[in-house]
Chain A
Amino acid sequence: MLRLRVNGETHETLAESSETLLEILRERLGLTGTKHGCEVGECGACTVLLDGAPVLACLVLPDQIEGAEVTTVEGLADGSALHPLQEAFVALGASQCGYCTAGMLLSAKALLDEQPDPTRDEIRAALAGNVCRCTGYASIVDAVAQAARTLQGAR
């Protein structure tokens, strides 16, 4: 029996030692907001936060999550109030097909948690492992910059 905390909730689930966090989230817990585009660490679609740091769920084993706090896209909003990053993604069209969005949001959140006022190059570097085929990244970088300003204003 694996005990893990996801978005503040504790779950107990049977998981094989060979199941990755990606499979546990999507197939055991029904949290399908976390996506996959390669399953071998090359696309970033499965990015989630493990104790606040972005990791690729497709390469995380159960042992690594025991006792850790996992944050997925489903845990970003506060009830129906969107996180400023989500708001900015909505407003600026930074999510087109939306498939890379969950991973982008979580990589961006980790960046802003650590560096509240990043430069555009820092934003680009932080998102470099998240492939997006729709946007050309520009609106995403804009959205992260806008969310940073919103968050700073709120501070």
Chain B
Amino acid sequence: MLRLPRFSYLRPASLAEAVAMLADHGAQSSVIAGGTDLLPKMKRRQVQPAVLVGIAHLEALSHLETTASGAAEIGASRTLTSVLKDAGLAHHQPGYAQAAGLVSTPALRNTGTVGGNLCVDTRCNYYDMTEDWRTASGSCLKTGGELCRLASSSPRCWAISSSDTAPIAVALGATAVVAGPEGERDVPVASLYRDDGNAHLALGRGEILTRLRLPAPDGWRSSYVKLRRRSSMDFPLAGAAVALKIDRGVVEGCRLVLGAVASQPVELSDLVHGLVGQRLDEEAIEEVASGASRLAKPLDNADLSYVWRKRMVKEIVARAFRQAAMSEVAAVV
């Protein structure tokens, strides 16, 4: 059976202690929340931190609150299941809840956390493999090697951002609260990511994501559509998150974010800019969806053909727009 490599497990008593532990152990340490992403990777020896700092038990990371206006604050170590069961969130933040509900399987959602999902490692067909397989294929940039197996002349890693909740969090204009050696700071989720498959998070050493803040809907509607092969378990082959403010059929504001087509969530602000002030009819949706598909550049390092995935971006974007347009206006003034 596949087993974990040896490591020492630290159980900090507080968030501050956790931050200090990470600072102490530096690059050989890693945060672990639910472990549903990290532990399989460790079993496959993709990563081998010598020290794991557990944060799932920390009080500071576990609250969940939705205000009357619909603004929500979710502790990073909240499980996805607990988020799904929250009636306030389902009501006010349907797009986020939808995305959380589309992650993996019921049992994995019982341990997988909100923070872990936002931070989940990037994926690649040449990377998410066992040690033996990677020995046979040779290492790549993401495993300490010299070249990218996907594109041998590439100076960078193209591993895919595969979080289901990241695109919708960006579309909703969410903020991540990050604690580090220098104290807490607020980071727009959009700025949490970097376009580099080998270092996809813009977090400093020892920084921990503590909370996710979703702003009050204030008339915005949201929706997330996930492309996957099967009805459960599979990582996204592409994701489309839409946030939309419509008044009597006319678009007042719009954000569109694609997931799983690059090393970070891709916000297409220029593309949707033209929608503002327009009626959101089928023609308009069609045009934006086609544009999104043109701009998406999936590569041949995930399931099914990348040509098909690119083409399907159009479909899921259109579906997401239709869903968002149909969904109830969330916030009741």
Q: How many residues of A contact B (CB 8 A)?
A: 31
User: B81 contacts A53, CB within 8 Å?
Assistant: yes
For the complex formed, measure the closest distance between the CB of B121 and the CB atoms of chain A, giving whole angstroms: 14
For the complex formed, measure the closest distance between the CB of B3 and the CB atoms of chain A, giving whole angstroms: 7
The CA-CA distance from A32 to B110 in the complex, in Å, is 23
Stretch at the interface among A13-21, A77-85, A145-153: A13-21
The CA-CA distance from A16 to B106 in the complex, in Å, is 28
For B111, give its contact among A16, A56, A107 (CB under 8 Å).
A56
The CA-CA distance from A53 to B107 in the complex, in Å, is 8
Give every chain A residue within 8 A of B5 (Cβ-Cβ). Answer: 18
A118 interface residue per 8 A CB criterion: no
A41 interface residue per 8 A CB criterion: yes
Q: A23 and B3 in contact (CB under 8 A), knowing A44-B105, A55-B110, A129-B107?
A: yes
Q: A40 and B105 in contact (CB under 8 A), knowing A54-B110, A56-B111?
A: no
A31 interface residue per 8 A CB criterion: no
A39 interface residue per 8 A CB criterion: yes
The 8 closest A-B pairs by CB, nearest first: A129-B105, A128-B232, A40-B40, A17-B9, A39-B2, A18-B4, A54-B107, A53-B110
B153 interface residue per 8 A CB criterion: no
Q: What 0/1 pattern do residues 7 to 34 of A give for CB contact below 8 A with B?
A: 0000000001111101100000000000
For the complex formed, measure the closest distance between the CB of B302 and the CB atoms of chain A, giving whole angstroms: 16
For B106, give its contact among A41, A64, A128 (CB under 8 Å).
A128
User: B54 contacts A129, CB within 8 Å?
Assistant: no
Please name 26 pairs of A and B residues whose Cβ atoms are closer than 8 Å in the assembled complex, sorted by A.
Answer: A17-B7, A18-B4, A18-B6, A19-B3, A38-B2, A39-B43, A40-B40, A41-B36, A41-B39, A42-B40, A44-B105, A59-B40, A60-B35, A61-B39, A61-B52, A62-B9, A63-B54, A64-B35, A64-B56, A64-B111, A107-B106, A107-B107, A125-B106, A125-B231, A128-B231, A129-B107
Q: What 0/1 pattern do residues 226 to 258 of B give for CB contact below 8 A with A?
A: 000001110000000000000000000000000
> Within B81-137, which residues are at the interface with A (CB < 8 Å)?
81, 104-108, 110-111
For B108, give its contact among A39, A41, A63, A125 (CB under 8 Å).
A41
- Known A23-B1, A129-B104, A129-B105; 13 more pairs at CB < 8 Å: A18-B5, A20-B4, A23-B3, A39-B3, A40-B2, A40-B39, A40-B40, A40-B44, A42-B233, A55-B111, A56-B108, A129-B106, A129-B108
List chain A positions with a Cβ less than 8 A from chain B.
16-20, 22-23, 36, 38-42, 44, 47, 50, 53-56, 59-64, 107, 125-126, 128-129
Give every chain B residue within 8 A of A126 (Cβ-Cβ). Answer: 106
Give every chain B residue within 8 A of A18 (Cβ-Cβ). Answer: 3-7, 9
Give every chain B residue within 8 A of A55 (Cβ-Cβ). Answer: 107, 110-111
Give every chain A residue within 8 A of B11 (Cβ-Cβ). Answer: 63
The CA-CA distance from A18 to B45 in the complex, in Å, is 13
The CA-CA distance from A54 to B104 in the complex, in Å, is 14
Give every chain A residue within 8 A of B6 (Cβ-Cβ). Answer: 16, 18
